[in-house]
Chains A and B, each alone.
Chain A
């Protein structure tokens, strides 16, 4: 694994970065193939696989029937027997349609069978609230997988991270659920021009600060960075730590930022109760309670379904104001 050389970069969207990562890994390793609903000629309902069919053809990228259990379970069978599948669940919410295949087959098959087999596969999962697709197609269900030992959980927030983390996920011999926020495919950013990967399980400090830490991931990283810029005008120096992965979890980075600032806000789009923030808060309580100058705060999606109405969806989402309020209150 290698961190990118910062020198030569170009601007890409997250969607384009994902396409590049897929194409490069498919060129590099002929065992890598893609299957999922509408991923081939159509290019994916969010366009993430556009153009790959033209380059790689129907043996490397193909559509499946609407059969989520097969998409994951069939991927596991292929991974066990020498392939490296990258399968797409059209919406991350379909984790529940293929829950046993993800939790108990993909995550446990190697373990149950004595570590004698490997399941090198990636499940790409477009997640998050965007465009009024409603309660069943808008969730960020990553915390469900905290109870699924064996499954890595990767959640990029920038084009650079999306590309580097996806390439690492494809090369890793452990199974990975890779969450892509549906509202971020068009987000642009600098991506190194040359070959690079980003190791799994290493958090990234997206903004250094000394007064308060915000631990976040996915789209909320951008919301938090905006709030941090606002807070800076008011003299609050915020450190923003993008976890990038929930498993492997960069525990050292969590404890380091908490020990540095003594104040912690955790921010995620997923529902507050039982979200991954609870686990991080518990970890900090167990191992760094002495470092805290104030109670931990959470800024999360509310404990209600995400409404279909776009008007209500906007009101549902945690925003910059919510984060800013938490920052102002925690430093008081």
Chain B
């Protein structure tokens, strides 16, 4: 791995990155590319699978918006052998979710070239749309975010992003860095020397200690914020009735399950006959308790999700973004997830070699703690 500067010069960041990606494709480093591109109105940035370099029309991978956790899309592209190298442009939460999906046998890394991008947070899709409509200057936002100011136009980044210290994408074969730099002056590219052969516009540079310092400072502040938020939430859900209160708005729409990169089951138990109750069942339950909330099984649904994906939760917060009732799901799953992860000393997405605790048995896992 060597560090290079990709000159953005008088052109803007995205045209420099377009040339960079085109050269990666032309040079055969990747045969296809999964990359975020702007739609015509610019109001949305969507993931696109590009096969022809000409298809790189309006890339905007650094735009602070993320409609899906792309790990699921990468799983679709790699669950069986795709027959060619696919470059996937991902943020940290997406790479970490992908690592979990590989361990859950839903994706493979063999034919992927992970192109990691720095991320200092993403706005809700609606907020991003409004920002763009009001005129959004990407370069200015990137510079402000590096300086610690992520809010713009009365909006701020998603809560799970504000709690996230994963700025650089892990496990990347090619890293594209902008945090802690003046992105208008150039981007930091870290990649293997052998891959560089065909690429122009790259100048070898050393590590950038000032950038590392800035990233370290932001990470520390966000981790403190996360700690405090999770502690507050745990204090708020001190008993079952308080937890039920937090989740009372649940419509059981399953959006959180759908948006979750880890929830991969083809047949979810909640779609099974087990949860198709008869009128007698409902009335029986209501008789037993005096009254029940309809739809039923909302607590059980979130308890089951905690139990199923808590261990692998990377904290991307897509569950909360997808929730129409805006329940504090990112706090719930991160708080519950941390409790489970701490038992095993497991950090989701940290290493491909770290064994998934549910696939093995540790003698001390049930020790009182």
A binds B: no
Q: Interface on B for A, CB 8 Å cutoff?
A: none
